[in-house]
Structure 1
Amino acid sequence: MKMILEDLYSSKDFKQIGHELIDLFADHIQNTTLGTNPKTIRWNEPDKELSFWEDYLENEKEQDFFEEILNRTTHIHHPKYMGHQVAPTLPITALTAMVSSLLNNGMAVYEMGMSSNAIERIVTEKLCEKIGYGQQSSGFLTSGGTLANLTALLSARKAKVAHDVWNNGHTEPLGIMVCEEAHYCVDRAAKIMGLGEKGIIKVPADENFAMDTNKMEICYQKAKSEGINIFAIVGSAPSTATGAHDNLEKIQEFAQKNNLWFHVDGAHGGAAVFSKKYKGLLKGIEQADSVVIDGHKMLLMPAITTALLFKENSHARHTFSLKADYLMDAPEEDEWFNSGKRTFECTKNMMAMHWYIILKLYGEKVFDEFITRQYDLAKDFATIISNEPYFELATPPMSNILCFRYIGTHLSSNELNILNQAIRRELLEDGEFYLVQTKLNGKHYLRTTLMNPFTSMEHLNLLLEKIKNKAEKLLVKKTN
């Protein structure tokens, strides 16, 4: 009797389903990029969505699974998508993702990841070169900015703390410095490392929501007086909420003066090293001890792939000292081809292919064009908002992230907060546009991240008109 597994591995069935799926995705790309789909998101309450999928699993509905997924997910490729920092992936990278999923070659050891380990080295060397690092630099890819930032701070601790915390633990209070507007993953990393709340030295932000570098010394001396051994300082490029870039040059000078590890969280904006126009925002990054850059944000790749790059190759190699003899029996040297020695991950997908295929087929110019276009678009959008009497900018944009709010007339601060929250909820339920929100200095703002290369000023003007209409109806409803 024929076993069911033989049917499941049928190349004929796979070919048929695969062709149908590619056709479905091709139509999806066309309909979303052209904006012919009326909605960016078809919002559903969490409990209702859960109920749908519970029913779908148990009953014999004929709906196609892949079509249902498309109907019930956010359309990142739609020009009216301007929400989270997620890339509208280049279609070619859907194919490299499929290759990785099918071949399933982990990269921890060279024998299971020959091509992908070699490709990863080429990609990371290219990134080190773009940052401005010398030949002694190195790096690797890992699964996301959170994991990359944690790994970088572990490297910092190993390099700057005198005793071996990794193997022996510690009783001495340790700490890192970071702007209060930095991404929450830095806080998480510090707490995972056992630094605690006191070990996260928050430097206040300035009026533009970047680190106030004039306050670094005060914060440092206060922490030292409390017995905290600070070993690292993190610069944001940029912060997540507003897209504000910290002054990396001043942070580097401070780090050098105090013998601190200088790390740059460039998960979002580090990609600007590819932009001829905007790479100046990252001045000083070439002096960082470590840098994080996400491929799935501003480099048009699928989640989740992040580069962690080190100015000194030795720091990329020596973070983790554990050894699994049955996996790796080569001498303790630069085994770049065994990536499991340098990352948290033992099993890692073949993510290097996304970076490599884009560079191979399109070259660096695609990154330059995309990043420059999106940053320019944010500046143009800011100009329009500044000229609108019923809107207010949080701060001029430094990247493609822009925060603004509807201010109306004769409304208190609390009323404005409630109104802008309600506007955002109305937009979510309407589904034509997708944007998010944030809170800055007690004020609620609408937040756009202009991630889509098909978003135009026409779309952004339509968004402002829609917000005005929503606001007017909400205000009328309130007075009635």
Structure 2
Amino acid sequence: MQNIYDSEEFRAQGHQIIDALADYLKSIEDGTLTEVIPYVEPEDSYDFWKNDLAEGQTGLMDFVNETIKRSNHLHHPKYMGHQVSAPSPVAALMGVVTGLLNNGGAVYEMGLVNNPLERVLSKYLAEKLGFGDESDGFLTSGGTLANLTALLAARAKYSSVWSEGTTEKLAIMVSEEAHYCVDRAARIMGLGESGIIKIPVNDRFKLKTELLEEYYQDATAKGFRVFAIIGSACSTSTGSYDNLQEIGEFAQKNNLWFHIDGAHGGAVAFSSKYKSLLKGVALADSIIIDWHKMLLAPALITAVVFKKGSDAYATFHQKAQYLWDNALSKDWFNSGKRTFECTKLMMSVKVYGMIKAHGDLIFEEHVDYLYDLAKTFANLIKSLNDFELGHEPEANIVCFRMKTENSNEINATIRRKLLEKGEFYIVSTTLNGDTYLRVSLMNQNTKVSDLESLLENIREIKSEL
């Protein structure tokens, strides 16, 4: 049998892998890596890896190098696609530490470091948000799971579904521009399509708070018990922040749970310049924030923060004698009592490692730079005759398109051609039925010159069509 735990072999492999990753970062720094996304069709990629597997053992570094070569390069300044961070190398190194230690988190004995760190980080984030001493939270794997977990806590406060099953028609209220995972969470909870009350948005893609009372009364008249309302901070397509203050006041007036999906834009809690976008957050009962979007962490690391930490414990009352003696005790150090996950990654170590290495000022600088850059790009778009802006950005998300006949078809084709060329990676979205190109500025190495180059590439593609 091979000694797969040999320390010296691990040391040698580790040096090789770190060297390969450092060379990769260097190739981005010096401009020798020009292709952002080495796009191939899905079937071709599948065939490559199927044939690679058939070759058997060919050496670890061949696989590492091929993986780097064939991946989407998020650290490249011309990556402007989805809302995923270019992770801090320190956080990535912490992933090596946690991957080897492999401590779980459901019970304290299996999470001696990560459970206390989760609480430290939750309290730390709660303070940034302006919550009081009663607040608490934890980390979980991604915004979808985090939103579901928070909404289950909301349901537990207003309903006995967990113990008695469904006995009434429950509903939530949410913007029609909210992330699809909120809709998915509601359906998983058994609310059905009719239990998801979607509120229209205004011309800036923000929830129309003036319609809340009307939609609430209509739902009540139809026999629904609305128990929660969700504010977006910010929306996925356009980066628009709902009016959290007015939503929170409406929630208080009607005794509803106020939850904020701050997966992307909640990061402005670290920014003196942009924190006002979260005005009203103090009224929230819960909020989620992805560390892996605007806060430089690798995926997936999402904070779920409750203004009243005890609210998190009602969600999953279950006996598990092999894990804990008392299912009803509110012991923060056994995180399995509050989350779907039993075993989970030591995700807190990656965030904490960044803070110890760089301090938390890096988060504010990162957010400010990318939000500022989006405004600069929007102003550039507005100064040009052949482009138009889809919205005035509040975050680091900008939607725009070429002015042309057959605009939807042409802009969709431009996006496809950019993907095939591989020099830039952007996505597209639909606003009011029209197709727009969409950039999420996630990398602090992206400069105005890169955005100008993007526009030139788009012009070139358009001239070839």
In 2: Cα distance, 1:177 partner to 1:10 partner: 56
- Gap regions ≥5 residues in structure 1: 475-480
Q: 1:200 to 1:435 in 2, by over 3 A?
A: same
| Residue matched to 1:437 | 428
- 1:329 alignment partner, one of 325, 329, 335: 325
- 2:114 alignment partner, one of 113, 116, 119: 116
Q: Helix, strand or coil for the counterpart of 1:17?
A: helix
| Residue matched to 1:190 | 186
1:472 aligns with 2:434: no
| Residue matched to 1:154 | 152
Q: Helix, strand or coil for the counterpart of 2:435?
A: strand
| Residue matched to 1:478 | none
| Residue matched to 1:346 | 342
- 1:212 alignment partner, one of 208, 215, 234: 208
Cα deviation, 1:330-388, whole Å, max 9, x if unaligned, reads 47333111111111100011000112112222222100000000000000000000111
Question: Superposition pairs for residues 312-323 of structure 1, below 5 Å?
Answer: 312-323=308-319
Quick one: which amino acid aligns to residue 66 of structure 1? Answer: V
1:84 aligns with 2:82: yes
In 2: Cα distance, 1:261 partner to 1:181 partner: 20
Quick one: which amino acid aligns to residue 182 of structure 1? Answer: A
1:171: Cα distance to partner?
3.0
In 2: Cα distance, 1:120 partner to 1:89 partner: 19
1:312: Cα distance to partner?
0.4
In 2: Cα distance, 1:314 partner to 1:336 partner: 9
| Residue matched to 1:382 | 378
| Residue matched to 1:401 | 397
1:33: Cα distance to partner?
4.0
| Residue matched to 1:234 | 230
| Residue matched to 1:424 | 415
In 1: Cα distance, 2:436 partner to 2:158 partner: 39
1:59: Cα distance to partner?
1.8
| Residue matched to 1:262 | 258
Q: What percentage of aligned pairs have identical amino acids?
A: 53
Quick one: which amino acid aligns to residue 461 of structure 1? Answer: E
Question: Superposition pairs for residues 14-163 of structure 1, below 5 Å?
Answer: 14-59=10-55, 64-161=62-159
Q: Is the 8 A contact 2:83 2:293 kept in 1?
A: yes
1:295 aligns with 2:291: yes
Quick one: which amino acid aligns to residue 362 of structure 1? Answer: H
What RMSD, in angstroms, separates the aligned Cα atoms of the two structures? 1.1
Cα deviation, 1:288-345, whole Å, max 9, x if unaligned, reads 0000000100000000010000000111222110120111014733311111111110
Quick one: which amino acid aligns to residue 458 of structure 2? Answer: I
Q: Is the 8 A contact 1:33 1:79 kept in 2?
A: no
Q: Is the 8 A contact 2:317 2:327 kept in 1?
A: no
1:460 aligns with 2:451: yes
- The normalised TM-score by structure 1 is 0.95
Q: Is the 8 A contact 2:317 2:328 kept in 1?
A: no
How many residues align? The count is 463
Quick one: which amino acid aligns to residue 205 of structure 1? Answer: V
- Gap regions ≥5 residues in structure 2: none
| Residue matched to 1:477 | none
- Which region of structure 1 is more displaced relative to structure 2, 45-54 or 361-370? 361-370
In 2: Cα distance, 1:391 partner to 1:222 partner: 42
- The normalised TM-score by structure 2 is 0.98
Show structure 1 runs of 4+ deviating over 4 A. 60-63
In 1: Cα distance, 2:31 partner to 2:122 partner: 35
